[in-house]
Amino acid sequence: MKLKATIFYRLKYQLISLGIYYLYFLGFSFVLPGVTIFFISKQSINSETMVQSDLLFPALIFTMILAIIGARSDFKLCIQNGVSRFNIFLGNLITNFIISNVVVISAFLFKAVFDLLFKDYFNYSFVIVDQYAPTNMLARYLLTLVIIFMISSLGLLIGIFFDRFSNLIKLLIGAAVVLTPFLLGTIYSSLSSAAKHQVVTSIKNIIGLSADGQLRVMPLIITFLTISLINLVITYLLNRKRELQRLT
């Protein structure tokens, strides 16, 4: 019963937040550009101005911010109302998956409406998705969903990370994350040509780039699902010993 209440509570404010996000998105991606196009067309009859924008990137930013805020604020409220840490984690997992689907469906509907009514003035796209699955609707949906869900799982992990550790630990882990690419680059530069070729081949397999240069969507979906699973496992482990932070 407490799990159900937790899920409904999170869905309520997440859907409200999603509505606010789309109001801002419509304002900055449709209303303001539309007014600009109107005035340009009034000044020049032969003007052909088109607004081009990516729908995926702003959705990812919103999803991550929502997951980070929810991971920090919901824990305090749920613990105070007797919800177990496992149910808190499960509630976060379920609601993030539901919201990810809602974001994908609304973004696809948004693009379909604009392609139908305003295709001469607005060109909205999903950059990564359009490259990997330009025509297959099911593949487009699944790829967009796993990308957004991966970002939500990362946001959940970041939220718990900031709430779980002291500032010193945050600084040390943050420095390690920043320095990791330099370390990997150093290791890669010291490899033999055969080893470098193997590394490049492995990376291509992970991102779904075949030997003939074709992009395959399924390996990329599996990669994002694997990253999501790793994020969730770490989140679960951090959440098990998580304590309620009190103001002093």
The reported pLDDT for the residue numbered 39 is: 57
154-167 tens-digit pLDDT: 988 888 888 777 77
- For residue 7, give both structure tokens: 């899920």
Does residue 47 surpass a pLDDT of 60? no
Q: Across residues 118-144, what is the average pLDDT?
A: 84
The pTM of the full predicted model, rounded to 2 decimals, is 0.82
The candidate with the shortest Cα–Cα distance to 144, out of 66, 224, 29, is 224
With cut-offs at 50, 70 and 90, classify the pLDDT of residue 247.
very low
Residue partners of 226: CB distance under 8 A and separation at least 6: none
Q: Across residues 110-123, what is the average pLDDT?
A: 78
Residues 94, 103: Cα–Cα separation, whole Å: 14
113-120 contact pairs (CB < 8 A, 24+): 114/30, 120/50
Does residue 222 surpass a pLDDT of 70? yes
Does residue 226 surpass a pLDDT of 60? yes
Number of H helices, E strands in the chain: 9, 2
Domain borders along the chain are 2-26+54-164+208-240
Per-residue b/e over 107-129, b at no fewer than 16 CB within 10 Å?
bbebbeebeeebeebbebebebb
Residue partners of 16: CB distance under 8 A and separation at least 6: none
Q: Across residues 239-245, what is the average pLDDT?
A: 68
Instruction: Return the DSSP state at 191.
Output: S
DSSP-based three-state secondary structure for 16: helix
Instruction: Give yes or no for a contact between 59 and 148, defined as CB atoms under 8 angstroms apart.
Output: yes
- For residue 218, give both structure tokens: 């399924």
Percent of the chain, pLDDT > 70? 84
Instruction: Give yes or no for a contact between 219 and 205, defined as CB atoms under 8 angstroms apart.
Output: yes
